[in-house]
């Protein structure tokens, strides 16, 4: 059994990790930390885990975490980078669900996150944990930068087009919408029911922290810098992301759906929908699936791709477990093969 620890087990991604890992056939949860809830039973805070997990939150202690095989960080940005070196030196694999290891340039990290990077040497080693593009590197990785939720939906939607040089990549547009859980569990006026319900709004139009992450990944795939306009929106739902992606085609292709289907034929967690099918966030709720539809309206030169995921699963905890499965040579679907919830 793999001994797993979670640092920061009280947020939405933390409890989603717990939900997935308690049902994982190869995992034993041994440490779950929270400074604010130390000593409290995990099941008392999250009653959905009653009869599934008999463990209490504890203070994050290196000696306890060093006994794990893998440690997940479901913490605010800037936490994992201060503990990663000690854990790696102890032989522990690290999977960070925050942004500490996503941006490869320490200067760009500081620009977007407002702090110096604590371990740039480890930053250079970290593998970006998107299995659909980095599976081989993930297999031998010691530390994984788990992708953000928006970057997951946007990258998977654009990927086949960028890989094949089919679109003009200096003016890509990503118009994305997320449920309120993407804002985290902390108290925030904008996340209150009366503020978010029956409303719809863009935010961070001048620059969202996920913009450089998406641009970095797509540029690496393209082999040169791409241009991207990324506009996120807050929608009055709890879970889910829909990314509407726009690109101008510069080289014709006979069948776009066939192109996508072939690219993702071996990817169990990417589902390319039949022609004319509209994706729905509810079709992926609670699952680790990304569903993609491809359109060419009026056979014009602008392609429209719609990509939907559950931001807490494929966009966070589920992808983290997928990375763990690959790192330890397990069945990739172990613990994350759940069917989506309907209604």
Catalytic site positions: 149
Tokens 């992926």, residue? 284
CA atoms within 13 A on the CB side of 83: 25
Distance between CA 207 and CA 189 in Å, rounded? Answer: 21
> Residue ranges of the alpha helices (H) in 22-148?
42-45, 62-65, 84-89, 106-113, 120-125, 131-139
Please give the angle made by the CA atoms of 300, 254 and 264, to the nearest 5 degrees.
105
Residues in the chain: 343
Sheet holding 228-234, edge to edge: 201-202, 228-234, 172-178, 241-248, 302-309, 290-295, 270-272
- Residues forming beta bridges with residue 299, ordered by sequence position: none
Q: How many CB atoms lie within 10 A of CB 190?
A: 11
DSSP state of 122: H
* CA 124, chain centre distance (Å): 20
CA-CA distance, 31 to 9, in Å (whole number)? 10
Contact 313, 15 (CB under 8 A): no
**8 Å CB contact between 151 and 280:** no
Q: Which residues contact 86 (CB under 8 A, 6 or more apart)?
A: 62, 66
């Amino acid at each position: 059994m793999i001994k797993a620890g979670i640092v920061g087990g009280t947020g939405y991604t933390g409890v989603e990790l717990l939900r997935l890992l308690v049902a994982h056939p190869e995992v034993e949860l041994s440490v779950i930390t929270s400074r604010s809830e130390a000593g409290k039973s995990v099941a008392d805070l999250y009653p959905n885990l009653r009869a599934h997990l008999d463990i209490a939150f504890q203070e994050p202690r290196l000696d306890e975490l060093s006994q794990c095989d893998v440690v997940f960080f479901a913490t605010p940005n800037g936490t994992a980078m201060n503990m990663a070196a000690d854990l790696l030196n102890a032989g522990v694999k690290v999977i960070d669900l925050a942004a500490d290891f996503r941006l490869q340039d320490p200067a760009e990290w500081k620009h977007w996150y407002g702090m110096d990077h604590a371990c740039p040497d480890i930053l250079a080693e970290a593998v970006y944990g998107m299995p659909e593009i980095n599976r081989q590197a993930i297999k031998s990785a010691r530390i994984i930068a788990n992708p953000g939720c928006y970057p997951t939906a946007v990258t998977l939607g654009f990927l086949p087009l960028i890989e094949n040089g089919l679109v003009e990549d200096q003016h890509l547009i990503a118009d994305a919408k997320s449920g309120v859980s993407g804002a985290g569990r902390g108290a925030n006026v904008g996340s209150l029911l009366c503020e978010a319900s029956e409303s719809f709004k863009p935010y961070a139009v001048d620059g969202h922290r996920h913009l450089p992450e998406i641009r970095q990944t797509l540029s690496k795939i393209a082999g040169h810098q791409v241009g991207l306009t990324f506009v996120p929106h807050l929608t009055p739902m709890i879970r889910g992301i829909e990314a509407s992606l726009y690109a101008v085609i510069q080289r014709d292709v006979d069948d776009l759906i066939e192109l996508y289907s072939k690219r993702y034929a071996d990817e169990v967690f990417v589902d390319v929908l039949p022609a004319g099918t509209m994706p729905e966030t509810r079709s992926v709720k609670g699952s680790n699936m990304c569903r993609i539809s491809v359109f060419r309206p009026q056979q014009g030169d602008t392609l429209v791709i719609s990509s939907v995921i559950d931001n807490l699963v494929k966009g966070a905890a589920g992808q983290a477990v997928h990375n763990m499965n690959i790192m330890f040579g397990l069945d990739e679907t172990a613990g994350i093969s759940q069917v989506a919830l309907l209604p």
